[in-house]
Amino acid sequence: MKKIVTLISLLLALVLCLAACGEKTAAPVSDNGAKAETNEPAAPAAPDAEEAVPVNESRLAAFYAKYVDDGEYALTLKTEDGDVDIAVKGDKQYIKTKLEGQDMVILDLPDGYFLVSPDAKAAMKMAKTDEAEEEDVFSTDPTGTFVTGEEEINGKSYYYEEYEEEGEKTRFYFDGDLLKYALTPGDTSSMTEFADIRNDVDDSVFEIPSDYEVTDLSALLGDTPAN
């Protein structure tokens, strides 16, 4: 899921660039939305006496085959910082999140990246570079082997599969075959809930309304000529 982190970083960079250019920004709005209470497990230690299992026997691989591999899916991630809505269809990606309490939409489209503010009815465009690495928001496609176990979350026992990539372990928790939670342990553990997973995506989420003002940030900064 590194794509989410990358696009959030891009979002912040766009805002900083806009501020540097003297554009007006909206006053921060406090986000007092309540978050779901979770009984988060402690950062997992190495599983006891668990044998590595081939990835082709994993429920995560089955989840990928059902929802991700055909390149069209939508879901909501419930995190400690609020909900994140994601939609993917072919080479188009949509992420809706919050920045300083305001809804923000990030679009990764063939002709560039867009930061869209529904409240301001405005959008900023950043051109893609030749070096830009394209990858799906689900970048941790299961490979190799993993270990399994069971753990209780909110009073319910869940089967989990634990993977390690570049020294970072992630546990994926399942209710039957349905992916419910992911936990990436670190200095503090961060639990993510998977909700409303589906394969149908409305094309309208990738469109910027015609009454929105779109600023070409690359042209504004002199990186590329304006269209």
Give the domain ranges of the chain. Answer: 2-23+40-220
| Percent of the chain residues topping a pLDDT of 70 | 63
State which CATH number among 3.40.1350, 2.50.20, 1.10.8, 3.40.50 fits the domain covering 2-23+40-220: 2.50.20
Residue linked to tokens 């986000």:
31
Q: For residue 67, how many other CB atoms are within 10 A of its CB? A: 19
- Predicted confidence at residue 209, as pLDDT, reads 95
Local structure of 63: helix, strand or coil: helix
Q: Which pLDDT band holds residue 102 (cuts at 50, 70, 90)?
A: confident
Between the CA of residue 79 and those of 34, 59, 129, 138, 211, what are the distances in Å? 11, 22, 31, 16, 32
**Six token digits for residue 215:** 């600023």
* Whether residue 159 has pLDDT greater than 60: yes
Per-residue pLDDT tens digits for 141-154: 555 678 899 999 99
Give the count of alpha carbons within 13 A of 109, CB side only: 19
Beta strands in the chain (DSSP E): 53-54, 72-79, 82-89, 92-99, 102-109, 112-117, 122-126, 145-153, 156-165, 168-175, 178-184, 190-198, 213-216
Average pLDDT along the chain: 74
Whole-angstrom Cα distance, residue 121 to residue 119? 6
- Predicted confidence at residue 158, as pLDDT, reads 96
Q: Which pLDDT band holds residue 91 (cuts at 50, 70, 90)?
A: very high
Q: What backbone phi and psi angles, to 5 degrees, belong to 68?
A: -105, -40
Instruction: Indicate the DSSP class of residue 146.
Output: E
* Residues 45 and 185 sit within 8 Å (Cβ to Cβ): no
pTM exceeds 0.85: no
Q: For residue 187, how many other CB atoms are within 10 A of its CB? A: 5
Burial class (CB in 10 A: 0-12, 13-18, 19+), 77: buried
- Predicted confidence at residue 189, as pLDDT, reads 65
Whole-angstrom Cα distance, residue 87 to residue 197? 10
Radius of gyration of the chain (CA): 19
Looking at 33-42, 82-91, 118-127, 137-146, which range is the least confident one?
A: 33-42
* Whether residue 225 has pLDDT greater than 70: no
Mean of pLDDT values over 203-216: 94
* Residues 172 and 1 sit within 8 Å (Cβ to Cβ): no
Instruction: Indicate the DSSP class of residue 52.
Output: P
Whole-angstrom Cα distance, residue 16 to residue 10? 10
**Six token digits for residue 197:** 């997973």
